[in-house]
Structure 1
């Protein structure tokens, strides 16, 4: 089965390897790219910070990209990661104490508030754009949070000829990992509605929330796993 991988490198290569092991043919079309903002690590966490929260492995990659002198201020903190991929990236970055939530911001907020002292100061390494769910849940719980944006996700521009080349024949499935990517797919559809065979494609989304960001006509052929995990997503193929 031809499967379109829309996430950026280096995550796309790992996804492609998993697809190939199952006998599928991965097709690459990253729709977003990350730019690290290393100034986020220029100063140590605020005094009294006891916990680090991360909702994306990209934040860990940004930390690794900064100097060892800058990163040492952060590596001593226990990490609360949104899911297993982010937790794995935290371990690879050098963190020793890593707790794992169930794959979304609300579960991460629940894990934090259930585990940490209510007066704990939380440092949140994140990017933009992002969902507000995690921050809103912590605010409702009365938590003190320092937010540092350490990367920005920006759209990748393609010529229509390049898109047509990669998507011919049209993949039977498209893997969608974020709401921003779902919206970008809608833009591609508007540009190339008549030149690609969109009706034959299934949209496999990491969560129902992401599926809801797809154009309405795509939602009829969208699916998502019970938990926002890539291994469960790929099983939908």
Structure 2
């Protein structure tokens, strides 16, 4: 099966390797690119910080751009990851105490509340980027837990020439993997500009969650699927 991978590097390369292992033909067309903001991490965690929360592996890659001595204060904290891919990136970055939620911001907030108990005088450190889902912050908004938010990366759209898009999408992939709402919106922009040049009718949009699927153009909703939990392993089972 010919499968379009839209996620940023280096994650797209790992997904492509897994697709090949399963007998599929990956086509790489990253639609977003991370720009790190290490200056957001130059200030050490506040004294008494009870935990560190992460909703993307990209935050771990941003942290790893710091000098080793600057990372030590972060690595000493218990880390709460949104899902298994982020947890794996955290362990690779050097975190030893890693707890894993069920793949979305609300489950991450629930796990933090259960495991940290009553709110600390110091806020939970949240390493994140822009743009981002507000689910995690919204889930904590009605609790006594506060956040020290560090926006340590920004996701920029990747500009592709029309000829490159047509070349990558010819023949049209059997499936397109969609990992974020921003990517879903970018696919909508590409379709709006090039709907006459490409045949989208038989392509399936495999999205990490229903929320992401809802960000696709309305005409693609009937062609979209998502797993019961936001996990790449479960997503790839839909192929």
TM over 0.5: yes
Which bracket does the TM-score occupy, shorter chain normalised? Answer: over 0.9
C-alpha separation in 2, matches of 1:67 and 1:50: 23
C-alpha separation in 1, matches of 2:8 and 2:171: 22
Corresponding residue of 1:191: 193
How far did residue 118 of structure 1 move?
A: 2.0
C-alpha separation in 2, matches of 1:132 and 1:21: 35
Corresponding residue of 2:177: 175
Corresponding residue of 1:84: 84
Does residue 89 of structure 2 align to residue 117 of structure 1?
no
Superposed CA deviations along residues 19-74 of structure 1, whole A, max 9, x for unmatched, are: 00111000000000000000011111112211000000000011011111211120
C-alpha separation in 1, matches of 2:186 and 2:66: 30
Q: Secondary structure at the match of 1:214?
A: coil
C-alpha separation in 1, matches of 2:78 and 2:192: 45
Superposed CA deviations along residues 171-203 of structure 1, whole A, max 9, x for unmatched, are: 010000000000000000001011001111000
Runs of 4+ in 1 over 2 A off after TM superposition: none
C-alpha separation in 2, matches of 1:140 and 1:198: 43
C-alpha separation in 1, matches of 2:114 and 2:191: 43
C-alpha separation in 1, matches of 2:76 and 2:47: 13
C-alpha separation in 1, matches of 2:9 and 2:154: 14
Range moving further from structure 2, 41-50 or 88-97: 41-50
Cα root mean square deviation, aligned = 0.7
C-alpha separation in 2, matches of 1:81 and 1:20: 27
Aligned residues: 237
What are the within-5 Å matches in structure 2 for residues 133-212 of structure 1?
A: 133-212=135-214
C-alpha separation in 2, matches of 1:223 and 1:79: 31
Range moving further from structure 2, 99-108 or 68-77: 68-77
How far did residue 104 of structure 1 move?
A: 0.3
How far did residue 87 of structure 1 move?
A: 0.3
Q: Secondary structure at the match of 1:180?
A: helix
Does residue 69 of structure 2 align to residue 97 of structure 1?
no
Superposed CA deviations along residues 95-136 of structure 1, whole A, max 9, x for unmatched, are: 000000000000000000111132223000000000111001
C-alpha separation in 2, matches of 1:213 and 1:231: 22
Q: Secondary structure at the match of 1:4?
A: strand
Q: Secondary structure at the match of 2:233?
A: helix
Corresponding residue of 2:23: 23
Range moving further from structure 2, 60-69 or 172-181: 60-69
* TM-score, reference length from structure 1: 0.99
Residue ranges of structure 1 left out of the alignment (5+ in a row):
none
Residue ranges of structure 2 left out of the alignment (5+ in a row):
none
Does residue 8 of structure 2 align to residue 8 of structure 1?
yes
